[in-house]
Amino acid sequence: MNVSILLILFLYGLIFGSFFNVVGLRVPNKTLFKQKRSYCDTCERTLTWSELIPVWSFIVQRGKCKECKSQISFLYPIMELTTGFLFVFTYYLTGFTSEFVLGLLLIALIIPVTVSDIVYRRIPNRLLLFFSLIFVNYRLFYPLDPIWDSFIGAGFALVLVFLIIVLSKGGMGMGDLKYYTLFGFIFGFSHFLLLFFLSTLYGAVFGIVFAKIKNLGRKAKIPFGPFIGLAALTVFYFGDTLIQWYLNLFL
């Protein structure tokens, strides 16, 4: 495998990861286009080019704004590095194929939604609507087999999560419902079942560990969007293998 391609993809991932982080932080409060150039969220000073180098600027500035010395969110370097590695890993598994395009689109959706849900406990409707249009068009060119599996997956996700919201009296939010429904459309029925199982598993494990570390009760609220996104990436990368393993094990 060409190392130079992996390096280029990683660098692009860092750059896009920085942008995705900004989108996740600013779309919910409608400040994405407040200024043409990036600025400090605290003192609103326009940042210089040397302050916008992904990861490196955070390290050099020791995580603080040069002017007001306010703390820069650790989400910036974390999401930049995560996006860089995901770009590389996606190419490693798929090569330059239609699946590579799908992987990049999933990353572009999941990273800002994760940031938004962590910071604001919200999954922005604007992001979901924007990416819904993109994924609908993607499935027009690269439909599932059979083609109606997307609609079955979306419909099942919508009904299932809506019932959970009603029965749990707010255990999940409407943002989670829309997020799940979009993934149901993208992956289809069987892969959505796996996605739903994995997301609840990830959320439950993290919730138990987090509650014990922080000495919180069972009803401590944590954002669920990150676990849905993590499950979606797991299904994209390993879904067929996991489903086949399950079928061989139990059937």
pLDDT value for 52:
78
Report pLDDT for 131: 97
For the entire predicted model, the pTM comes to 0.92
What integer pLDDT is reported at residue 175 of this predicted model? Answer: 93
Q: Which ranges constitute the DSSP H helices of the chain? A: 3-26, 56-60, 75-94, 98-120, 125-141, 149-168, 174-187, 189-214, 225-250
- In degrees rounded to 5, what are phi and psi of residue 55? 65, -55
pLDDT score at 217? 56
Domain ranges of the chain: 1-142, 144-251
Distance, in Å, from the CA atom of 83 to the CA atom of 78, rounded to the nearest integer, reads 9
Bridge partners of residue 39, in order along the sequence = 46
- Please list, residue by residue across 122-152, b when 16 or more beta carbons sit within 10 angstroms of its beta carbon and e when fewer do: bbbeebbeebbeebeebbeeeebeeeebbeb
Q: Which among 212, 213, 231, 210 is positioned nearest to 221, based on CA atoms?
A: 210
Q: What is the DSSP letter of 70?
A: P
Q: What is the number of residues in the chain?
A: 251
Residue 162, token pair as written in the block:
């809506």
Q: What's the token pair of residue 216?
A: 């919180």
**How far, in Å, CA of 20 to CA of 184, rounded?**
23
Token pair listed for 81: 């590095």
Tens digits of pLDDT across the chain (251 residues): 688 999 999 999 999 999 999 899 888 887 776 656 677 777 777 777 677 788 988 888 878 877 787 888 888 999 999 999 999 999 999 999 999 999 999 999 999 999 999 999 999 999 999 999 999 999 999 999 999 999 999 999 999 999 999 888 767 889 999 999 999 999 999 999 999 999 999 999 998 887 777 666 555 678 899 999 999 999 999 999 998 888 887 76
